Structure 1
Amino acid sequence: MNAQNTDYNKDFKFLEYDIEKLQKGYQNKEYKITDVVKSYLERIEKVDKTGAKLNAVITVNPDAMKIADSLDQVPAPLRKGALFGVPVLLKDNIDTKDKMPNTAGSLAMKDSFPLRDAFLVEKLRKAGAIIIGKTNLSEWANFRGIMSVSGWSGNGGLTKNPYDLTRNTCGSSAGSGAAISANLGIFAIGTETNGSIICPSSVNGIVGLKPTVGLVSRSGIIPISVSQDTAGPMTRTVKDAAIALGVLTGVDEKDSHTLASKNQTKTDYTSFLKPDGLKGKRIGYSKKSSGNVKVDALFQENLKFLEKEGAILVEISEEPVSNEIQGKSFELMVLEYKDGLNQYFKSLGANAKIKSVEELIAFNKNSPEEMKYFKQEFLEMTQATKGMQDENYAKLLKEIQEGSRKNGIDATLKKYQLHALIAASTSPAWKTDMVNGDNYIFEGSGAAAIAGYPSITVPMGNIDGLPVGILFYAEAWSEGKLINMAYSFEQKNPQRLVPQFKNGN
């Protein structure tokens, strides 16, 4: 079947539905929850597994229809929860205690069934969400090998970009980005260490919200970096991101970083959804070229739009986080990775197929499918360290956090009296190259990621039919303010483009 000549969107009843529209249909008895879930499962089969073969969903929940039916039985007065009846997808590095394994995209983990739900999964289920499947990802959240290809995993294969099936989805939340752009669910949960929510959201034409580290619990998520990892919503609208974020927040005793959110967290971010959120805001930007003249031109157009909406644009002369700090953050990730993975393997109990990074490395060496395209240098690097017991760890952590926070983003916001900083989120999606690996030109997400600060990307336009996002970021716990600005931008300048699954561009 030639995907280019097929209109996959024509007969899908729930195309571009959001949470509010879906739930209004339930209230008006236009359809049942089972009707909705069945439609999304059929679309996954039609678009993802056959037809366009997007390959964004790695596992479908075999109990999805059963769960939907149980929710249909709940009387209308008792239907509570912000996500009641909403079909949700999870990145396949988030634990669910059901019939779906949690694999990180690795063949070593294909039969790994967690002992409990991740904390955020408990929150989603309590809010009435139906987890209809798990999404593919760059294997081990793109921290396995140097010549990696975003969106590829040994267990899930290659995820394709729904705008052009020959182009990349970015990663590591590749399947989450492609799936939501392609309307395979209402929203997805992705995870980010550095760019893994923002980049795939940008190149797949959706909204991605990376929260402050500690706002959303990481317990039950396969880790890379305890100081940078977070989970966050990937949606088609800012409003859905705000609704989803309110469900996800909360203090979790299994993740000590969430203790800092106790007086910062909200369970409802929809109060920030005001259309005049840009008016009077001082927003900083850099004139430094992204390396892509088309992206630079598109960004300049959007700067004019921001000014038209009443924003006060301020050019900043230096990058908020230095190249030196950005480089050192990689060293920190390598040290934290070993401890994080080994602790995760331990959480799987005595029946865990893989019990250590050392065993994982050995498995991969004996798996031709795993080593087909690239190697496992990052796993070998972390195994060779003392992990977080390294004598330089505490000093390195302090240096990076001070350099990116107090002397980085905080200092820049204070110096220029800014409400937020902006940048182009990424370059457009590149042609997938299984021989030479990824071909990033740039990403705007690094500063906020290293600081553990929040950021949100929203579509700002397209280049030759390929979407590009604009990134808003600011200090810790500023999600509400960022949602406010992003919502205003989206409402006044809607740039969401429904993908058409072209095969070559």
Structure 2
Amino acid sequence: MTSVEAHAGPKVEEASIADLDAMLAKGTATSVSITQAYLARIAAMDRKGPTLRAVIATNPDALAEARASDARRKAGKALGPLDGIPVLIKDNIETKDLPTTAGSLALRDNRTGRDAPVVAELRKGGAVILGKTNLSEWANIRSTKAMSGWSAVGGLVRNPYALDRTACGSSSGSGAAVAASFAAVAIGTETDGSVVCPSSMNGLVGLKPTLGMVSRTHVVPISHSQDTPGPMGRSVRDVAILFSTMVATDPADVATRDADKYRRDFTAGLSADALKGVRIAVLHPDMPDTLKVRYEAALAVLKAQGAVLVDVEAPKDGGRGDAEFEVLKTELKADLDAYLATTPNAVTTRTLDQVIAFDEANKATEMPFFGQEIFLDAAKAHGLADAEYLGARAKSLRLAGAEGIDAMLKKADATILVEPTYGLPWLSDTVSGDNFTGPSASELPAIAGYPHLTVPMGLVKGLPVGLSFIATAWGDQAVLNVGYAYEQASHARVAPRYLAVADGGAGLEAAR
């Protein structure tokens, strides 16, 4: 796909924020020319070429924002490392210049004219809002048989490493877009796995922050107990730069009340020596032998960089997963109803019940592949004061935090927990939906609200896999530090090649 770079503009493929800043500082590129270069890649590759379907809409004001950035830079008033840098935003996060659909036709007229506070922070830093990315519709909470990366608005996101494989979700478009260099960085959101899974399966770095580090106001919700936006990029440094701009206290979001205490330049602590003497608790979940080989190689890198590795056993589920699901369904009804009440009059679905009715009335376009059984269950929830819900939240939080991550770290006398992020990207399947196989690191930190960073661990059978670094609350700097040191020692990330199928060796023909 290098032919996309043949125009006279700057080369943005695989360019980092530092690369783009250097172009801007030297005058070899402007924010306008960089923005145009990204728009050209999107035009050539998103609905043509490999047809990634990673972007729902580009921002009609992007070039005007880029011109404003160029004017600031010329006047010596650049706002920081993100000034003039194009950023993509997942389409469940409001921006004042585009609709916010969550991938559903029910919200196609959701033009609120407001920025979510996290987007407002990016604009304060001078970032160019390039557009909105596709996603698993309703952030993958509609059906137990969903196909990750599909939405009625945007279609199916395809994985740039193998176009027949899942990009995972729900931040699938953000993952595929950054992997394909449609932007250097993007914003995703996570409730349980929706930043780290698409990051892992698209060869990216992704950070699910401590709950409360980033505002959730004006983000289409699932669960106030677990939802959070998070940064995604091709390097730890790029993610740290983006995250530094995202963190801010939001009076409308009580979870962010402590955020200012932890606001900083998260790149300042990044060092190739950050693993020296760090005690790391190591999990060994069941996984295919091919992934195990890659994981053992990653652990060898950590050890070679001076980390002290201590094996630990994963806690028993103890009903944790069922309790989490009860929480998500209850909060979905309450939180989504509250959000929909704030949308413009043009949005006629004002409650979850009305969304369910809309989907049924528009079955051919909204439910061609899977239904809405989770929505139907959530509609029966008894509210946030319900004793069963309150008990489920207390149980899941205890099992994930005090008796989960905290207990493992205490037993190992460690500050960081490490394990494979997920298994390999599975085949996208319109009949059976997602086929989650192999390990999954997302549940415990998602429920506990703890930081979770995934960093590329290389390719297995031609497909990306990630390595997870997890800490306790407010340990975001710690996971970035060790993730950066691992990244600098391993150089494990491999750029995508947009293959029709994975380059995994002998295929079905060899099995005849």
- Structure 2 distance, partners of 1:84, 1:223, is 29
- Within 5 Å, which residues of 2 pair with 1:142-291? 142-263=140-261, 265-290=262-287
Provide the aligned length of Structure 1 versus Structure 2: 496
SS in 2 for 1:114: coil
Structure 2 counterpart of 1:392: 388
Partner of 1:486: 483
- Other structure's SS at 2:445 match: helix
How far did residue 73 of structure 1 move? 2.0
Shift in Å, 1:169? 0.3
Q: Which residue identity lines up with residue 488 of structure 2 in the other structure?
A: Q
Question: Residue 94 of structure 1 contacts residue 118 of structure 1 at CA under 8 Å; is this kept in 2?
Answer: yes
> Structure 1, residues 268-309: CA drift from partner, whole Å, max 9, x if none?
11111111111111111123322x221112111111221111
Return the offset for 1:387. Answer: 2.7
Report the equivalent of 2:306: 310
Secondary structure of the residue aligned to 1:461 is: strand
* 1:476 corresponds to 2:478: no
Paired AA for residue 79 in structure 2: K
Which of the numbers 369, 374, 378 marks the counterpart of 2:365?
369
Corresponding residue to 1:461 among 458, 461, 472: 458
Residues in 1 aligned to 2:96 and 2:203: alpha-carbon distance in whole angstroms: 31
Structure 1 residue 86 displacement after superposition: 0.4
Kept after mapping to 1: 8 A contact 2:422/2:441:
yes
Q: Structure 2: which 5+ residue stretches go unaligned?
A: 503-512
> Partners of 1:47 and 1:143 in 2: how far apart?
28
CA contact (8 A) 2:4 2:40 kept: no
Deviation, structure 1 residue 323 = 4.8
Q: Report the CA distance between 1:399 and its aligned residue.
A: 2.1
> Partner amino acid for 2:338?
Q
- Hey, what does 1:116 align to over in structure 2? 114
TM-score by length of 1: 0.96
Name the SS for the 1:225 alignment partner.
coil
Matched with 1:3 is none
Give the SS at the match of 1:448: helix
Look up the equivalent residue of 2:246 and give its one-letter code: L
Segment drifting more, 379-388 vs 473-482: 379-388
1:57·1:133 contact (CA, 8 Å) conserved in 2?
yes
CA displacement at 1:471 relative to structure 2 = 0.3
Aligned-partner Cα distance in 1 for 2:492–2:475: 24
Equivalent residue in structure 2 for 1:347, among 322, 339, 342: 342
Q: Which runs of 5+ in 1 are unaligned?
A: 1-5
Larger CA deviation: 268-277 vs 389-398: 389-398
Bigger mean CA deviation after superposition, 30-39 or 410-419 = 410-419
Task: Name the CA distance, whole Å, in 2 between partners of 1:7 and 1:428.
Answer: 26
Alignment map for 1:81-92 (pairs within 5 Å): 81-92=80-91
Q: Is the 8 A contact 1:283 1:313 kept in 2?
A: yes
**Structure 1 residue 262: deviation in Å?**
3.9
2:449 to 444, 449, 452: 452
Distance in 1 (CA, whole Å) between partners of 2:5 and 2:126 is 29
State the shift of 1:267 in Å: 2.8
Are 1:115 and 1:348, in contact at CA under 8 Å, matched by a contact in 2?
no
TM-score computed with the length of structure 2 as normaliser: 0.94
User: What one-letter code is carried by the residue in structure 2 that aligns with 1:450?
Assistant: I
Per-residue CA deviation, residues 68-110 of structure 1 (Å, 9 max, x unaligned), is: 1222222341112331000000000000111x11000001111
CA contact (8 A) 2:91 2:135 kept: yes
Moved more, 363-372 or 6-15: 6-15
Identical aligned pairs, as a percentage? 40
Kept in 2: contact 1:144–1:379 (CA 8 A)? yes
Q: Deviations over 1:453-493 (max 9, x none)?
A: 00100001111211101000010000111111000000111
Alignment-mate amino acid for residue 391 of structure 2 = K
Contact 1:8/1:47 (<8 A) preserved: no
Q: Give, in whole Å, the separation in 2 of the partners of 1:8 and 1:213.
A: 42
CA separation in 1, counterparts of 2:57 and 2:113? 18
Could you list the per-position Cα deviations for residues 197-231 of structure 1 after superposition, in whole angstroms to 9, with x for gaps in the alignment?
00000010010001000010000100111101111
Query: 1:322 Cα deviation (Å)?
Result: 2.8
- Structure 2 residue 40 is matched with structure 1 residue 42: yes
- Which stretch shifts more, 392-401 or 244-253? 392-401
Contact 1:108 1:360 in 2 (8 A): yes
Give the Cα–Cα distance (whole angstroms) in 2 for the partners of residues 436 and 23 of structure 1: 45
Instruction: Name which of 351, 356, 359 aligns with 2:354.
Output: 359
1:97 equivalent in alignment to 2:93: no
| 3-state DSSP of counterpart to 1:191 | strand
Deviation at 1:359, TM superposition (A): 0.7
Tell me which moved more, 436-445 or 359-368.
436-445
Runs of 4+ in 1 over 3 A off after TM superposition: 6-12
Distance, in Å, in 2 between the alignment partners of 1:504 and 1:395 is 46
Conserved in 2, the CA contact under 8 Å of 1:295 and 1:463?
yes
